[in-house]
Structure 1
Amino acid sequence: MIPCHWDAVPAPHQAAIEAVCGRVLKAEPVTGGLMPGLTARLHTEGRSFFFKAIPADNAAATLFRREREAGCALPEDAPAPKLLWSDDSHGCVSLLFEHVDGRDADLSPGSPDLPGVLEALGRLNVLQWEQAPPVAGNLGPLLDKAAALLGERRDAAHWAMYAEAVAGFRPESVAGPSLLHYDPHPGNLRVTGHGVRLVDWSFACIGVSWIDAAFLVPRLIKAGHSPAQAEALVSAHPDWSAAPDDAVTGLAALWTLFREYKALYGPDHARTFRIRAAHAGRSWVRHRIS
């Protein structure tokens, strides 16, 4: 059973956490995300912490373990909350982080948050993480979903556009040593009094440094930018000019096809969200193909 409240967390984990942060006076659930498991703010005397837990046999536990590995490996100067404690025992994967007091980034045109977001990504992507999983592992599900949809031979013009973009993509073109967050959506970009911090490192990996900037583009489009405006913004990333056109276009199509697939076949509660994301990605691919 997925722990949905503090009382469901194994007692040894609770005791270890309280040894680190003091007695937990209140566990306030954090809702709204797509990931299963428990996310909560733990309030102690005078301080707050961020806590995540999931049963060890849940399929998503792999992502929690990835985040645990990333938290242990991230350099001190990474723009991310520090992992304070973790455990993978008693049938549960539990993670305790410092609490980031901030808000979701506003990616809309003219937002004062945009320079800080781009600065954080640029600062992050020059870092490295030895023994990190390569980005190819994250791209596998996207390639699978793309193949499944394109194999259905749909008639709409944008399916031919996707096929053209995917055909020109070579996974080796995005291999590299740079640290990537991989999922820079507004909820993972927290604006604080000390700059933008990236949270939720479940998909952390290594690859070419401009991938995070590329995956920010559809988020910017969804927030109201045109594809040209979004690409102009991410061109501030120090390595964007080195990104091969076919690699960027292929990633744009793969990112979008994954959302198209989830909009068609994913859980009902997330389909509206996926449709909006797919429309943003589709306009980006069309901009690059035309």
Structure 2
Amino acid sequence: MPRSDTSHMHDHGHSHDHGHVPPVSADSEKRVRWAMILTGSFMLAEVIGGWLSGSLALLADAGHMLSDSASLALAWFAFRLGAKAPDKRRTYGYQRFQVLAAFVNGLTLMVIGVGIVIAAIQRLSSPVDVMAGPMLVIAVLGLVVNLVVFAILHRGDQGNLNLHGALLHVLGDLLGSVAAIAASLIIMTTGWDAADPILSMLAAVLILRGAWKILKRSGHTLLEGTPEGIESHEIRRELEALEGVESLHDLHLWGLTPQDPLLSLHLVVHDDVDHEHVLRRASALLRERFGITHATLQVESESCLTGGGCETEASRL
């Protein structure tokens, strides 16, 4: 009778179910928490300064910082939730919530960017006087705060999608502060009030560019896309080159987060091959060559013994 063996491979070298929790970086969580506190504290000052000076750039940046405070809080909560152990309803745990938080942050960035552009167009058609002096003071203070927050986050793990999304929010704030400073200086030296909405739009374009990147990356992960830096055809080629392996099928490669790749596949081997030996060699190859430490491998001595997507194998993932 044909045999069908299954192995769950992990970095600690023994078999069990999928109830694992990838480590959540305590450093990233701490950095996001400090960023949230600093951003939220300064946001009120920008609201008051923008209202008193009549600066759209400051008010836009204040609105952005308000959104950032909420987004950083969401990112921080995602780190906290991600540390929870798996349960009966969520056997993979809560790591995926980090990706969901990043996707929501990307959406809010898109809304903010579009909102700034619309407000700037309206301001160009109906210009108002701007008090450049108070605007400059608040903008400079905002720049200092944003630089501190940016430095805190930038020194963290940039491979973490949740932290990267928070960083993009803060980068948008930083650009907003730079735009406000430039606009105030232009207004003070030339009296050209249109500099305020124009520079606001330029900052908004950069915000939208960053938002699209984070939406694309987080959406790819939510759709179970192949993790960045790993090619399924390379995995197929390396595994099929192993001694005793005849072919493979039902190869699926995805990730809970971009840093936590998962893989499942069926290996078809020759009848006289030691299945355990093939599993050990395949597991070692995945770990050492591709950095995949969590894989479900099934060894079969008959092609497509357990069904699956065998009819699509001609397409070669």
Asked if TM exceeds 0.5, the reply is: no
- The structure whose residues are more often strand, as a share, is 1
TM-score using structure 2 length? 0.21
* Structure possessing the higher radius of gyration over alpha carbons: 2
TM-score (norm 1): 0.22
